[in-house]
Structure 1
Amino acid sequence: MFSLNTVLFVCAIFAVLYAPRAFAWFASLFPQKRLYNDKKNKLALFIPARNEGKNIIPLLESIKAQTYDADCFDTFIAVKDPEDPVYEYAKIVNAEVYCDVTQTCKGDCTDYTFKKILEKYPKKYDGFIIVDADCLLEKTFLEEMNNAMASGADVINAKKRVRNYYQDGGKNSNLVTACNGLIWTFMDDMGNRFRSDHNLTTMTVTTGILFTRKVVEEMNGWCYRKTLTEDMEFCHDSILKNRKCFYYSYAMIYMEEAPSLAETNKRRSRWMHGLTHSNYIYFADLIKNRQNKPVVNFYFMFSLWLVYLFVATLIGMAAINLVCSALAIGFGEPVNWEYVISAGAAVFAIYAAFFILTAVALFINRKDIKLTKLGFLAVLFVHPVFYMGYIPIVAKAIVSKNDKQWDAIARVQTDSSEVFSE
């Protein structure tokens, strides 16, 4: 069985191994340098909109309100149903609508639409931007994405905020949305900012993201459809192809969070299955890769596996201690409190690690998180438990086959189509 000292030793080893990643959490405490672009790039804004209905209207209104010159961008929408009402809503921004009746995932409609754009408008667009239909754009989003192109990057990630805080007086914001919304802080402010500053491959989410024409032509559309998370496939392959990635915090997009735990877990499960299986697909090639600071890139790309190992080790130790103690009691031995306490300490160590992560995230992104003081305290203590909910999801993703079903996520019904501005 395992003693308390063993638990502490495991925690110490993990702290050392994870220290570089933890150091990166604080990069966004320093203002990012603003970029300005004299060139007005021509942009193609693409919206995957399968069965979105009226949910797409607020996004279209936010596109209509963009400060970027309307002559410098066009909007394209992809649907699955030729009778989709989005055909009518698209008139709000004079968008072109393409219907891909065979699509089974986001990657399919992205490939279909990008190929149509390349065929119909060869060499017209300098950048291709993907935005999901449940998002909203800051008024300056396209203007700032154009500014970010002055970086010379092949891929540009925007900053993601939680839409629920800002719309309808926050009525669709609750403890679930607040807890799950921290994922964007972890990814952007505590991850992509450091990676971008050090010319590392950023964590990709295919919404609020720009690809240069060179990248889209290289892919001849969109070629990543092996898993549920085509964005992680792109991310891993970007290391192999030495693509320059950039995160720009001044280009902002608002992400909708599902207010129910069931819908949130559906999204978490889909994400982790895709992420894990993308790891499997690209692991060997990434090991062989010798481009663009491979060791550092590899470490940051797979640092989550350190967390998996840490959690699995402590859970295993706790389980063994409890089982052995129970067996001893069954044979008439007295309760061995040392091992019961050690088991509890192992579980608490997981909670404590996630508590520290939560506290840092709430501090770093405190200006974007619209909560009362009581709300901040609730998230501080509840989010570590919420995050521990990933444990069975990740365990299933690691051992199961890749489920490629593209389940719809319930949309939040909003009362307004207000457009946000700093």
Structure 2
Amino acid sequence: MKAIIIFNAVISILFTLCYAYQFFYLFVGLLKGEQKFKAVREHKFAAVISARNERDVIGQLISSIKSQNYPKDKLDVFVIADNCTDDTAQVAREAGAIVYERFNKVQVGKGYALDWLFKIIDRDHKDAGYEGYMIFDADNILDVNYVSEMNKVFDNGYDILTSYRNSKNFDSNWISAAYSLWFLREARYLNNSRMQLGTSCAISGTGFLVGANVIEGNGGWIHHLLTEDIEFTCDSVSKGMKIGYASKAVLYDEQPTKFSQSYTQRLRWAKGFYQVFANYGGKLLKGVLKGSFSCLDMFMTVMPAMLLTLLSVLINVVAIPVAIATDAPETAILVQALIQTLVNFYGLFFILGLLTAITEWDQIHCVWYKKVLYLFTFPVFMLSYVPIAIIALFKKVEWKPIKHSVVRTLDEVRSNEAA
């Protein structure tokens, strides 16, 4: 039983050593303001949207792109209606997008759809002179200054950029609120801090910009794992590229509201992280050995840390009945260690949620008491990730679309706190 106590101490020390730098990120996010950029010129961009049966929401996204405070002749909208069985293509065309329909039941997923479209753009729109591509999901809507803010940072030499990811439906329930807090925390306390410190940021799902030179250099969109965003991030960082962050470019995203949807999505994310770690862990480690902090950061990001947490909990859960059965004197210590692990987990994520809610209070669009209430359920949501991470180890996971149905204008999203 003493071996279990030593094991618990080793796990605690490992976590501290591996993730201490992210606590430093917290202080940077708290103490340092946002960076300001100015653009010398306005670049020409194409907004790219991969959509599957998204007729309910895609029109609002295209409208928000068309309403940007940016020259109309320097911003086009492309939609891939990917394996659609509804009238997404027609709705997108009527909203003013250039639409291509793709039907491929073998190469399924956003990565394949993007690669297919980039090849079509190279074929049919080669003379358009696009300098960068902004990639969105169909359920997004954009602040009116989104493109101009992305342009400012792009003009300052960043070939890959991510943006501030907010949510359309924080107020729906504890599940959507947990997602929202996590993405707001990523924006403020990870990507913002990375940008301040001059290291590379990370792409998260949607709302990012890729320079045309990067797409050309890669030979299209070559990332097809279950989490193509983090795969693209790790691939780029391992090649020595630096990903920037435009803190004032605000995007609103729809979050799942049902646990079944959340389970399916996070199962894919967990499996995808394992795939990325298996494929890029070695490359990142080589970068770490060459002195790249960005590679170290991404290595720690994709390393399956949840498994260490689960391993610690499982060993203690198994050890406690054995200790009781053998009347071991360490029984009380083991019970205390298990409880302490769970309390520490809850406390850590409560603090992360609290810091995020305090600093991003005005960006969270719902009534005040929901902002407070969902702080207490946020750690529970994160704890539910642990069994999902284990299931993902053994279960075959395929990409599946998640139905989006929250139709809100920016004014409606921002008026929620007054409800």
Contact map agreement 2:118 2:221 (CA 8 A) in 1: yes
Name the SS for the 2:247 alignment partner.
Answer: strand
Q: Which residue does 1:191 correspond to in 2?
A: 190
| Per-residue deviation, 1:164 | 1.1
Show the counterpart of 2:201. Answer: 202
Give the structure-1-normalised TM-score.
0.88
CA distance in structure 2 between the aligned counterparts of 1:148 and 1:341, rounded to whole angstroms: 50
| Matching of residues 228-239 of structure 1 within 5 Å | 228-239=226-237
- Once residues 84 and 377 of structure 2 are traced to their aligned partners in structure 1, the CA distance between those partners, rounded to angstroms, is 44
1:361 is aligned, of 343, 356, 373, to 356
TM-score, normalised to structure 2's length? 0.88
Distance 2:19 2:366 in 1: 30
Structure 2 counterparts to residues 4-403 of structure 1, below 5 A:
7=8, 10-11=11-12, 14-29=15-30, 30-81=32-83, 84-102=86-104, 103-122=107-126, 124-165=129-170, 170=171, 173-225=172-224, 227-289=225-287, 293-294=291-292, 296-304=293-301, 305=303, 307-308=305-306, 310-328=308-326, 336-397=331-392, 399-400=393-394, 403=397
Distance 1:291 1:17 in 2: 15
Residue 89 of structure 1: how far off its partner (Å): 1.9
CA change 1:99–1:76 in 2 (3 A) is same
- The aligned amino acid for 2:78 is F
| Letter matched to residue 374 of structure 2 | V
Relative contact order higher in (CA < 8 Å, ≥ 6 apart): 1
| 8 Å Cα contact 1:135-1:256 kept in structure 2 | yes
Question: Structure 1 residues 312-321 or 1-10, which shifts more?
Answer: 1-10
Is the CA contact 2:307–2:386 (under 8 Å) kept in the aligned structure 1?
A: no
Note if contact 1:57-1:417 (Cα within 8 Å) is conserved in structure 2.
no
**AA paired with 1:125?**
Y
Q: 1:155 to 1:291 in 2, by over 3 A?
A: farther
CA contact (8 A) 1:321 1:339 kept: yes
Moved more, 94-103 or 124-133: 94-103
Task: Name structure 1 gaps, 5 residues minimum.
Answer: none
Following TM superposition, by how much is the alpha carbon of 1:234 offset from its aligned partner in structure 2, in angstroms? 0.8
The whole-number CA distance in structure 1 between the counterparts of 2:110 and 2:125 is 22
Deviation at 1:419, TM superposition (A): 7.8
Q: What letter is aligned with 2:296? A: Y
| 2: CA distance, partners of 1:222 / 1:262 | 30
Say if 1:163 and 1:255, in contact at 8 Å, map to a contact too.
Answer: yes
Identity of aligned residues (%): 26
Q: Deviations over 1:313-361 (max 9, x none)?
A: 53134213322134337xxx99954443333223323222322322222
State the AA in 1 paired with 2:50: P
Q: Report how many aligned residue pairs link the two structures.
A: 409
Deviation at 1:415, TM superposition (A): 5.9
Render the CA deviation track for 1:353-412: whole Å, top value 9, x for unaligned: 322322222233222223444323322222111101110112233x33662x22121213
Are the counterparts in 2 of residues 242 and 291 from structure 1 also a CA contact under 8 Å?
A: no
Residues of 1 paired with 2:350 and 2:332: CA distance?
26
Deviates most, 302-311 or 93-102:
302-311
Determine if contact 1:318/1:344 at 8 Å carries over to the other structure: no
Partner SS state of residue 37, structure 2: coil
RMSD value, Cα: 2.8
Alignment deviations for residues 181-208 of structure 1 (CA, whole Å, 9 cap, x no partner): 1221232211111222333232112421
The letter for the 1-side match of 2:103 is: V
